[in-house]
Structure 1
Amino acid sequence: MTRKLRCHAIVLGVTVALALAGCGGGSESPTSSANSNGLEKTTIKVGALPIPDPVSVYIANAKGFFKEEGLTVVPTTITGGAVAVPMVESGQLDISQTNYVSTFAAVSAGKKIKLVADMYQAGPNTFNIMVPGNSPIKTVAELKGKTVLVNNLNNVATLAVTTQLKVAGLTADDVKFIEKPFPEMGNAVKSGQADAAWITEPFITANQSANGFRKLADTMTGQMEDFPIAGWMASEEWVQKYPKTLAAFQRAIAKAQQLASTDRKEIEAMLPTYTKIDAKTASVITLGTYPSALNENRLQKVADLMLEYGYLKSPIDVKSVLAVPASG
């Protein structure tokens, strides 16, 4: 998700790499063949977490979709969503992965950023509240007075859990949220530091197989059903300065998203190349969906839900945050 987006270093036999991907600068050449496409900038750095969400950027590179646009994209591993906004603001990254909750919170705080492409949308059982197999907790209502681990406070995790608490007649004040990186959640719950944890893939599969955890609730139901999780963002200044470069990126990434959405095997083949999720695990983890275009109505749902639960102090018109392709 934002997600804050996430700090990863998997344990329990499913390891997600934190090693930085090649960060070479790669200055654009005035004699590049991309000049025939009129691109203002032919080499860009794109921030991404080593998780399934941003797989399309690696698919686009492997399939030559960026190259077809005259664009060289250098994926740069980031350690979490918290670093993404300052990195695009400072120019360390041209474009970066972000989660939508973080994005709209940043916009509400006055940050000049734009969403430039969609990335990942939740599906069933992609973000679950989990407990040990022998836990006496059988329902969400029984979380009252309990401690729940989330990867980030006041973000997608707490919002998702709170919607489930509401259905059970509880509020966020009825539980204690503690922040803990996904890789550390299993051991923390086992050792009694918490009663439950909000976990996503591939950590769901890891904790089921290594710790015998079971699902208490799928948080991507009810108000959170088909919830948009992550997208690509850039600074407003960058979007204005490099419109043709942006359009080239959008065309290529949309093509890769379409491929990812229609052929899971493409995702399974790519995950081991930029994460430490092995081929066997890649074949069994539960995945969400990969939309090919930013959808104003779907994303407005995120901002409206944030407003309802107090994550925003005033409404946001999502359309004003979108940098849609010139073709519409």
Structure 2
Amino acid sequence: MKTKAICAFVALSAALMSAACGVGDSAPEQSTDGSVKKVRVGVPANANGISAYIAARDFADDYGLQVEAVTIKSGAEAVPMLMNGQLDISLGDALGTLMASSNGVPVVVAGVASVASPDPTLDPSAIFVAGPDTGVTQLEGQTLAVSALGGAPELIARAGIDAAGGSSEHVNFVELNPAQMANSISSGRVKAGLAIEPFTTAASEAGLTEVLRPMATGYAELPVTVWFTSQKFAQTHRDTVESFLGAVQSAGVEANRDLPRARKTAGEFIEMDPRVLDAIRLPVFAENVTDVDSVEELVQLADRYDLFDKKPDLGGLLGQKFEAAAP
């Protein structure tokens, strides 16, 4: 399971040795009077970036920041950019960040960005089948598609199935492009699939049957995405990190409480049919971003499913103990 998920980080770790010795000494710019700190933040063009954009637009001034949002494809792409100084902080998949750390990449989790809600109505993930819902036990001995083997999608599916009384060890997991998920289930190519928004909404509209909301069932309260940075930046620019955490925490609270505003913000940086954007379940943003105890719980869950060759160094990963600055 874990080989495919970590292979990219093996090559990445080697590349970082040279990157860390390159232009990594660059630091965020500061205004001439020292009152405004400029911070470059890696943000993917999906709904997980909503709090970052609200922070940049509406809360940065309150925290003495000028936030430059840099579009990234994934947290894995952001890692070398953090190491060589092209980025200061980035949003990343929580499990992917842990895997990078377990492979020796010197990253630090500054805070939690979004979490899995225990409320199924807020869960952006779902396991679908084409026929009637006869419970998770129908998945045993069958093929279930996820978008990434050995990564967060498989972990979410396995934890949800087991928490619901099924047996994920008797399910055959395969990797499939999420855009192909609904058609593959409908055609019988696979028995079931795990969809995550916006593909959850697409699967529902295609008439597929929802079997389980796995995040709410087996992943509740665990981090889905995190804010992370390099160990060097965390040590030398602690005040900048804490100012950013304060701004993005305020933005996350606002996004959770004002969904129309959150959707409007998403529409400004996500290329998506407005009708779909209005229908999808949005992320639940952390309202206490520096409470990172849940990261340790995620490590325990991932280790239970044998995802790590070597467990992450939690001292290096979480040892900075940041506080979100006040405005």
Q: TM-score, normalised by structure 1?
A: 0.80
Report what 2:167 is aligned to: 170
Q: Secondary structure at the match of 2:282?
A: coil
Q: Which moved more, 1:297-306 or 1:189-198?
A: 189-198
State the distance in 1 between where 2:229 and 2:29 align.
22
State the distance in 1 between where 2:232 and 2:293 align.
25
Query: Any conservation in 1 of the 2:290–2:322 contact (CA below 8 Å)?
Result: no
Pairwise CA distance, 1:278: 4.2
Structure with the bigger percentage of helix: 2
Query: Any conservation in 1 of the 2:245–2:324 contact (CA below 8 Å)?
Result: no
Q: What per-residue deviation string (whole Å, max 9, x for no partner) do you get for residues 25-44 of structure 1?
A: xx9656x256135xxxx333
Q: What per-residue deviation string (whole Å, max 9, x for no partner) do you get for residues 281-316 of structure 1?
A: 333322342113232332221111112221235655
Q: Secondary structure at the match of 1:163?
A: helix
Q: Does 1:157 align with 2:156?
A: no
Q: Secondary structure at the match of 2:296?
A: helix
* Equivalent AA in structure 2 for residue 127 of structure 1: S
Query: Any conservation in 2 of the 1:140–1:164 contact (CA below 8 Å)?
Result: no
* Equivalent AA in structure 2 for residue 286 of structure 1: R
State the distance in 2 between where 1:116 and 1:34 align.
27
Q: 1:169 to 1:284 in 2, by over 3 A?
A: closer
Q: 1:85 aligns with which of 79, 89, 99?
A: 79
Q: Secondary structure at the match of 1:53?
A: helix
Q: 1:100 aligns with which of 94, 107, 113?
A: 94
Q: Which moved more, 1:44-53 or 1:302-311?
A: 44-53
* Equivalent AA in structure 2 for residue 184 of structure 1: Q
Report what 1:127 is aligned to: 125
Which 4+ residue blocks in structure 1 deviate beyond 4 angstroms? 27-30, 313-320
Q: Secondary structure at the match of 1:311?
A: coil
Report what 1:53 is aligned to: 48
Pairwise CA distance, 1:136: 5.5
Pairwise CA distance, 1:72: 2.3
Q: 1:138 to 1:169 in 2, by over 3 A?
A: closer
State the distance in 2 between where 1:241 and 1:290 align.
27
| Unmatched runs of 5 consecutive residues or more in structure 2 | 6-26
Q: Secondary structure at the match of 2:34?
A: helix
Q: 1:197 to 1:81 in 2, by over 3 A?
A: farther
State the percentage of identical aligned residues.
26
State the distance in 1 between where 2:291 and 2:51 align.
18
Report what 2:207 is aligned to: 212
Q: RMSD across aligned C-alpha pairs, in angstroms?
A: 2.7
Query: Any conservation in 1 of the 2:255–2:285 contact (CA below 8 Å)?
Result: yes
State the distance in 1 between where 2:77 and 2:314 align.
22
| Unmatched runs of 5 consecutive residues or more in structure 1 | 5-26
Report what 1:193 is aligned to: 189
State the distance in 2 between where 1:28 and 1:161 align.
39
Query: Any conservation in 2 of the 1:33–1:70 contact (CA below 8 Å)?
Result: no
Q: Secondary structure at the match of 2:229?
A: strand
| Superposition map of 1:160-309 within 5 A | 160-166=156-162, 167-172=164-169, 174-209=170-205, 211-292=206-287, 293-309=289-305
* Equivalent AA in structure 2 for residue 131 of structure 1: V
Q: 1:117 aligns with which of 95, 111, 120?
A: 111
Report what 2:142 is aligned to: 146
Q: Secondary structure at the match of 1:312?
A: coil
Q: 1:81 to 1:326 in 2, by over 3 A?
A: closer
Pairwise CA distance, 1:114: 0.7
Aligned residue pairs, count: 294
* Equivalent AA in structure 1 for residue 77 of structure 2: V
Query: Any conservation in 2 of the 1:120–1:228 contact (CA below 8 Å)?
Result: yes
Q: 1:169 to 1:188 in 2, by over 3 A?
A: closer
